[in-house]
Every structure is written in structure tokens, then in C-alpha cells.
Chains A and B, each alone.
Chain A
Amino acid sequence: QQQVKQSPQSLIVQKGGISIINCAYENTAFDYFPWYQQFPGKGPALLIAIRPDVSEKKEGRFTISFNKSAKQFSLHIMDSQPGDSATYFCAALPSGGGNKLTFGTGTQLKVEL
């Protein structure tokens, strides 16, 4: 059972544009939602994360929007750059102890000049 659904599978954006990646979850016990960035040959790196008590979190060019009632969250990359070209994974972690992250299927982002 896939608990975190991610879309789109791939995305091409022009330099300077906005990249938007969406995720939806089913388990209402999730209370921590990180986004990871992965370059080829590297492990995932934590990019930004949010908890359900806020609807938006911004760090530099990266923003997470969170809709608790719809059980959806999204990553926005403003002023996208070629160096942002990577695979992005959303993930979710339940409350109540343990650190069992459930990952989405990933989005391959390519930022073109």
C-alpha cells in the first residue's frame, strides 16, 4: 500500500521558472513531512521539512505548502536554476515514536537554460 503519492514523475522547467511538486498522504498519523533532494550517485539530502501546525514554510527559494484537510503538501522551487536539476522525494513520518519514513516515488526535475 503506497501511503504517500507523488506527482509528477518528471518535470521540465525553464531557468527562472517555478517548479511545483505535489504529494498526498492517507495516514492521518503522519506529523512530519520532509522533502529530500537526490543527485545522481548521491544519497538523499534533507532540503526542507514541515509539521502540520503551519500551512507554509519557506527557506530561501524553497517553500512547502501544507493543506491538512486535503492531506496534501507541495514543494515550490522559485527562480529554478540548472543546479536544482535532481530527483526530489517527499516523505512522511508518523507521530508516536519511531523514525520510519515513508517516501514518495520521486520527481525528476530538469531545469533548462
Chain B
Amino acid sequence: EAGVAQSPRYKIIEKRQSVAFWCNPISGHATLYWYQQILGQGPKLLIQFQNNGVVDDSQLPKDRFSAERLKGVDSTLKIQPAKLEDSAVYLCASSLVTDEQYFGPGTRLTVT
């Protein structure tokens, strides 16, 4: 069974630029999550999708972050404009309706 796929794996941008990350969940997983993991910390949930709909986006900085999940499969997370404090690893995870979440390898973002 293929795991969660993410791209790109690394991205370096200057502050105030925009960036987008892509995630392809495990086939059949209805729930998709985006997490932000700052160096030395645990992952923090940014947004959770159930199929096409948003379940929880309470910790998403909506003035600069946006996310969508087209047709209930792939998802993109966008940051515009980026700030220095957005430097982190962005993790995508997926799950069935159970509690077990499966994580992708992440995208390491560096904002200079």
C-alpha cells in the first residue's frame, strides 16, 4: 500500500513570496490533515478535511494560509505572503474514520 505522498520535499523562498505544497493521501482515506512542525516541537494541526469539507481550521492563520481539497483526494496548502516564522516542516497525514493517522515525509520550508 502506497503511503502519503508530498511534494516538494524542500523549498526555500524569500519573505513575502508565496508557496504551495501538495499532498496525495493514502487511497480511500477520507480524512486529510495538514500539520506544521517547527524545529524542536511536536506537530501542530493547521487544518483537517473530511472528504471535501473542512472539519477544523481553528489554528490556520487564515490571513496568509489557505488550503483546499479537490474532489476529496489531493490537497494543496498555500502560504501568501510568507513570513520568517513560517519556516517549518509541513506534514500531511490521512486516516480512515479510525484514530490512526499516517504521515507523509513532509515539506521543509525555509523562509529567508
Contacts and interface: CB of A to CB of B under 8 A. Distances in A.
A45 B4 CA distance: 11
Contact of A43 (B45, B95, B100, B103): B103
19 contacts: A34-B99, A34-B100, A36-B103, A41-B105, A42-B106, A43-B91, A43-B103, A43-B104, A43-B106, A89-B43, A98-B55, A98-B56, A99-B33, A99-B99, A103-B42, A103-B44, A105-B40, A105-B41, A106-B41
B110 interface: no
A32 B99 CA distance: 8
Contact of B103 (A45, A49, A99): A45
A32 B100 CA distance: 10
A44 B55 CA distance: 22
Contact of B42 (A46, A89, A98): A89
B75 interface: no
Given A103-B43, A103-B44, A44 B99 contact: no
Interface residues of B, number: 23
A104 B99 CA distance: 17
B4 A99 contact: no
Given A98-B56, A100-B45, A103-B42, A46 B91 contact: no
A93 interface: yes
Given A44-B91, A91-B42, A99-B31, 6 more contacts: A32-B99, A42-B105, A99-B101, A104-B42, A105-B41, A105-B42
